[in-house]
Structure 1
């Protein structure tokens, strides 16, 4: 074997060994086990999103406004109001606050954001009856819109829409429970230990 061939062979062996070293290092890095706290932090980031529950509500009601002249004459205006509204109940989990106690292996959720309710009504007015002395004006439409939003808010509170939104919230929070339990950690909220989704349901008030 010539001198050039020998040098070339040595260079190939060196490059091969170097390439093998970097490949094995990369494989070892992929197989590296992440610390518990890092896994928990990753899960927190995954859940830090906007949870939205949507619904549609329709309602028909009568609008009426009365004015009188010295209690002798009445000038009324009224209309049939038809409302179709898109309702959203949202939880912004990017605002969720927590603390990690590595010594005792406890994740403490310290703050869960309240729900945000958005009502976007599509209002149509029919069968308008008015008088010359009590005609429909811009303020009437503003009054109708405010009244509609108030009535719809009350309706939402009495319906299962908010309960469904809460279930969505608990479903997201339960992902913390899966991670902490799998790592042998404890999950707490309001100094109470969470062992199952039912605990969340009891502690989170609508």
Structure 2
């Protein structure tokens, strides 16, 4: 046999060996999966953000995209996504504007207080009933768009809930208690100050009621 015949037999034998190995591997249920990940750190920033309330939300998000073939036939694709999220609402203290006390007065004056905002959304997505069209298939960009829209909808739903109000009440009363424990007086902007006074009155009423319940005097009459 000449050189080319021997080389051909070697290649055929090698190919047969690879095919046999793949067949045996499939039958044995062995798969060769490789995963690589690369961590990229873009930047680190110092922040002073405080979480005051958290909420848990579930939502069914329906996605549908209509596409016409030759401007005549509809070729829709659709998917149903169940979204579960944990939303943290709080404040960015870097946005607070303070007024410096004068003459050593122990009075904390806040000129401007930020609005509550969503600090983070931890979201879990599950796709159901994915139906692609004949030519209108799902792409990676479609899935990215779906997830972005679902997250934005969850953000809007959280801000329309009671979370911002709860966070606002929490931060005002916490700052009041902190200032009082240090012998300082807290002064907020007018609207916030009225809300704080209402919270203080409610807290004092709850405290009195709790003491009466514990002492049993409320049942003596």
TM-score by shorter chain over 0.5 = yes
TM-score, length-scaled by structure 1 = 0.60
Q: Map of 1:13-24 to 2, 5 A cutoff?
A: none
What is the aligned partner in structure 1 of residue 43 from structure 2?
none
- Normalising to structure 2: TM-score of the pair? 0.57
Q: Which residue of 2 is the match for residue 146 of structure 1? A: 148
Mapped contact 2:117–2:164 kept (Cα < 8 A):
no
CA distance in 1, matches of 2:88, 2:134: 40
Alpha-carbon contact 2:81-2:125 (below 8 Å) kept: yes
Q: Report the CA distance shift for 1:196/1:158 in structure 2 as closer, same or farther (over 3 A).
A: closer
Deviation string 1:79-100 (CA, Å, 9 cap, x unpaired) is 1110011111122446644221
Instruction: Report the Cα offset of residue 147 of structure 1.
Output: 1.0
Residues 179 and 195 of structure 1, relative CA distance in 2, 3 Å threshold: farther
**Which ranges in structure 1 are unaligned for 5 or more consecutive residues?**
1-47, 202-206
Change over 3 Å in CA distance of 1:55–1:69 after alignment to 2: same
**Cα 1:49/1:70, change in 2 over 3 Å:** closer
Q: Distance in 1 between matches of 2:191 and 2:81?
A: 48
Deviation at 1:60, TM superposition (A): 0.7
Any idea what SS the aligned residue of 1:64 has?
A: strand
Residue in 1 that maps onto 2:129 = 127
Greater shift in the superposed pair: 74-83 or 95-104: 95-104
Q: Is the 8 A contact 1:97 1:110 kept in 2?
A: yes
C-alpha change, 1:194 and 1:114, in structure 2 (3 Å) is: closer
Cα deviation for residue 138 of structure 1 reads: 0.7
Q: Is 1:76 aligned to 2:76, yes or no?
A: yes
User: Which has a greater percent of strand?
Assistant: 1
Match of 1:162 among 161, 164, 167: 164
Q: How many angstroms does 1:120 deviate by?
A: 2.3
CA shift at 1:144, angstroms? 0.8
State the Cα deviation string for residues 51-93 of structure 1 (Å, max 9, x = none). Answer: 3321111011211011002431111100111001111112244
Tell me which residue corresponds to 2:197.
198
Alignment correspondent of 1:111: 112
